[in-house]
Amino acid sequence: MKKTKSTHHLLCLFLLCCVGGAKPMVASLQLESPLPSAYYSHHFFPVSTSNNRTTSQLDWSRCHYQRRPPTCSLVVQKFPVKSSSVVLYASSGGSTAPADDETMEPPSSPPEGSKDRRKVVQVAWEKLVRWSRSWRSKAKTDVLERANKVVVLGGGSFGTAMAAHVAERKAQLEVNILVRDPQVCRSINERHCNCKYFPDHQLPENVIATTDAKAALMGADFCFHAVPVQFSSAFLEEIAAFVDPGLPFISLSKGLELNTLRMMSQIIPKALKNPRQPFIVLSGPSFALELVKKLPTAMVVASKDKKMADAVQQLLASRNMRISTSSDVTGVEIAGALKNVLAIAAGIVDGLNLGNNSMAALVAQGCSEIRWLATKMGAKSTTLTGLSGSGDIMLTCFVNLSRNRTVGVRLGSGEGLDDILSSMNQVAEGVSTAGAVITLAQKYKVKMPVLTAVARIIDKELTPTKAVYELMALPQVEEV
Ligand SMILES: *[C@@H]1O[C@H](CO)[C@@H](O)[C@H](O)[C@H]1NC(C)=O
Ligand SMILES: *[C@@H]1O[C@H](CO)[C@@H](O)[C@H](O)[C@H]1NC(C)=O
Ligand SMILES: *[C@@H]1O[C@H](CO)[C@@H](O)[C@H](O)[C@H]1NC(C)=O
Ligand SMILES: *[C@@H]1O[C@H](CO)[C@@H](O)[C@H](O)[C@H]1NC(C)=O
């Protein structure tokens, strides 16, 4: 039997956070008299405030009630009331609520409500579009207009893809790729194709390859560094004489230098013997092949110098490329350096057939471990949840393309490491990175259960199955 309640219940509101602005606010509601329990699960119970703001001005769709009678807490995303203490009146407002019926479902919305919601969505979208237009009209393009020449160091897949992307931005821009392999050089210049990595893709005509470092760097406005981390130091020392001290270096290389545990932001200025060489790091979920296919991609550029990050954003942002800026160089670099070790772990979970729950849990745990280390090293935790953090990690762990991940799959399905390594080239480095990562974690006194387990498996001190058992048996802790 349903009883209709129409009494008004007085609620006192205690504010636990600041009120106003767009900041989420947590308010605790103390009920003067207990409401029937059904009210707590009722998402839409009407509330009006003492200063007579109507309920419609409070965005109740963004509020959550926690059912903890006689108190319920309320998370208000955007609260239009400025005063710090407001009395809220809650009433059943004529809606039908069965008294003390724990299992009551929220009322199914009438067609009227669905029309309203559609309207709300329309208004929200129109706001977004207006906001976007106003930004677009103010967008600056002078960096691209002024740039005449860009150099890309390294003719691997990502260097080539980035050269093609930036060349597409402006036909008059001269894009030089410095490559080692004379055959690749010839194929780019004669057939506009990097035969080694993208045999089926035509590169823009303004992409020119060379094996001459001096000619490549001469007069360049920007330099993209796409040489693998382990070879970068020696390579840069060799070409240092041709590098203008003001030439911005945009690092595309991800990883840790194995013996020194340095990342590119440390390697580049040291090798060029110029601590003031402008440095920018570009990172994010971006498979080179999808980039050359011009599929929508989003990345982040980070630099200590905001002007530099803004300049690279202008240079690269296009219809198929979103570029966000950041000042958190460490945060962007560290996730890029560690994600391949996590990819090995993801491969192992796959190889052991542990299922999708396991995979998601593993990747979430891995993200946390990387965040713990990164924040100890001075990174912002928001960077780690962004494109260069979670974004790139998801791509590397969930998509079956990386060789590091394949090593994990084969380890998980019971193959020995030596057999795997002898049958694949270029993976030894990813495998040794695991140990380097743990050395770094030790230096900063961070516990990394999953990543340490990977390193132990690689050291042949632990089998994948035993590792899973040990990880599952770790203390049950509070989430951090
Ligand atoms: C709020 O407005 C209603 C009518 O809309 C009025 O009856 C009531 O007295 C007002 N309350 C306060 C606190 O101003
Ligand atoms: C994981 O999800 C995929 C896609 O739904 C499904 O094909 C696969 O069987 C799942 N794995 C397990 C172990 O259930
Ligand atoms: C994933 O990778 C493994 C080994 O690298 C391969 O055997 C398998 O076919 C791949 N699966 C998919 C769906 O591509
Ligand atoms: C494997 O990981 C290493 C170390 O992070 C990295 O340098 C290498 O590029 C990765 N290889 C692939 C194919 O992703």
Ligand lying closest to the C-alpha of residue 398? 3
CATH code for the part of the protein at 331-472: 1.10.1040.10
C-alpha 356 to ligand 2 mean position (Å): 6
pLDDT of residue 56: 37
C-alpha 16 to ligand 1 mean position (Å): 27
User: Mind listing the pLDDT tens digit for each residue in 201-222?
Assistant: 999 999 999 999 999 999 999 9
For residues 161 and 287, give the distance between their C-alpha atoms in angstroms, rounded to a whole number: 9
- What mean pLDDT value characterizes the chain? 82
Q: Which atom number of ligand 2 is nearest to the Cα of residue 355?
A: 13
Average pLDDT rounded to a whole number, residues 311-325? 96
Ligand lying closest to the C-alpha of residue 406? 3
Q: Which atom number of ligand 4 is nearest to the Cα of residue 230?
A: 7
Highest mean pLDDT among 104-113, 135-144, 249-258: 249-258
- Whether the CB of 402 sits within 6 Å of ligand 4: yes
What is the pLDDT confidence band of residue 80, given thresholds at 50, 70 and 90? Answer: very low
Q: Which residue has a Cα nearest atom 1 of ligand 2?
A: 356
Kindly list the protein residues whose Cβ atom lies closer than 6 A to any atom of ligand 3: 400, 406, 409
pLDDT of residue 94: 37
Q: Which residue has a Cα nearest atom 6 of ligand 1?
A: 52
User: Mind listing the pLDDT tens digit for each residue in 353-380?
Assistant: 999 999 999 999 999 999 999 999 999 9
Ligand lying closest to the C-alpha of residue 349? 2
**pLDDT of residue 102 exceeding 70:** no
Q: Which atom number of ligand 1 is nearest to the Cα of residue 50?
A: 13
Ligand lying closest to the C-alpha of residue 86? 1
pLDDT of residue 51: 53
Q: Which residue has a Cα nearest atom 2 of ligand 4?
A: 430
Q: Cβ(185)–Cβ(192) under 8 Å?
A: no
User: Mind listing the pLDDT tens digit for each residue in 321-340?
Assistant: 999 999 999 999 999 999 99
For residues 209 and 212, give the distance between their C-alpha atoms in angstroms, rounded to a whole number: 9
Q: Which residue has a Cα nearest atom 11 of ligand 2?
A: 355
pLDDT of residue 341: 94
**pLDDT of residue 10 exceeding 90:** no
- Whether the CB of 52 sits within 6 Å of ligand 1: yes
Average pLDDT rounded to a whole number, residues 267-296? 96
Instruction: Provide φ and ψ at 184, rounded to 5°.
Output: -65, -40
User: Mind listing the pLDDT tens digit for each residue in 380-404?
Assistant: 999 999 999 999 999 999 998 888 8
Strands 149-153 and 64-65: unpaired
Q: Which atom number of ligand 4 is nearest to the Cα of residue 338?
A: 5
Q: What is the residue extent of each domain of the chain?
A: 8-91, 142-327, 331-472
What is the pLDDT confidence band of residue 318, given thresholds at 50, 70 and 90? Answer: very high
Question: Which of 103-117, 152-166, 170-184 bottoms out in mean pLDDT, i.e. has the lowest?
Answer: 103-117
Q: Which residue has a Cα nearest atom 9 of ligand 4?
A: 430
Average pLDDT rounded to a whole number, residues 164-188? 95
pLDDT of residue 21: 44
C-alpha 450 to ligand 2 mean position (Å): 22
* 142-327 CATH, one of 3.40.50.920, 3.30.360.10, 3.40.50.1820, 3.40.50.720: 3.40.50.720
Residue 75 class from Cβ within 10 Å (0-12 exposed, 13-18 middle, 19+ buried)? middle
What is the pLDDT confidence band of residue 111, given thresholds at 50, 70 and 90? Answer: low
**pLDDT of residue 199 exceeding 50:** yes
Average pLDDT rounded to a whole number, residues 159-174? 96
Q: Which atom number of ligand 3 is nearest to the Cα of residue 410?
A: 4
C-alpha 421 to ligand 3 mean position (Å): 17
**Domain 8-91 identical in fold to domain 142-327:** no
What is the pLDDT confidence band of residue 98, given thresholds at 50, 70 and 90? Answer: very low
Instruction: Provide φ and ψ at 446, rounded to 5°.
Output: -115, 135
Catalytic residue, from 82, 339, 445, 447: name it: 339
pLDDT of residue 220: 97
Strands 71-76 and 25-31: antiparallel
The rounded percent of the chain whose pLDDT value lies above 90 is 67
Q: Which atom number of ligand 3 is nearest to the Cα of residue 409?
A: 4
Calculate ∠ Cα 43-45-49, nearest 5°.
Answer: 125
Q: Which residue has a Cα nearest atom 9 of ligand 3?
A: 400
User: Mind listing the pLDDT tens digit for each residue in 12-46?
Assistant: 343 333 344 445 454 544 444 444 444 444 444 44
User: Mind listing the pLDDT tens digit for each residue in 425-475?
Assistant: 777 777 889 999 999 999 999 999 999 999 999 999 999 999 999 999 998
The residue written with tokens 């103010």 in the block is: 138
CATH code for the part of the protein at 8-91: 2.60.40
- Whether the CB of 430 sits within 6 Å of ligand 4: yes
10 Å Cβ neighbour count for 229? 22
Question: Which of 96-105, 251-260, 400-409, 452-461 bottoms out in mean pLDDT, i.e. has the lowest?
Answer: 96-105
Determine whether 339 is an active site residue. Answer: yes
Q: Which residue has a Cα nearest atom 4 of ligand 1?
A: 52
For residues 75 and 27, give the distance between their C-alpha atoms in angstroms, rounded to a whole number: 6
pLDDT of residue 114: 84
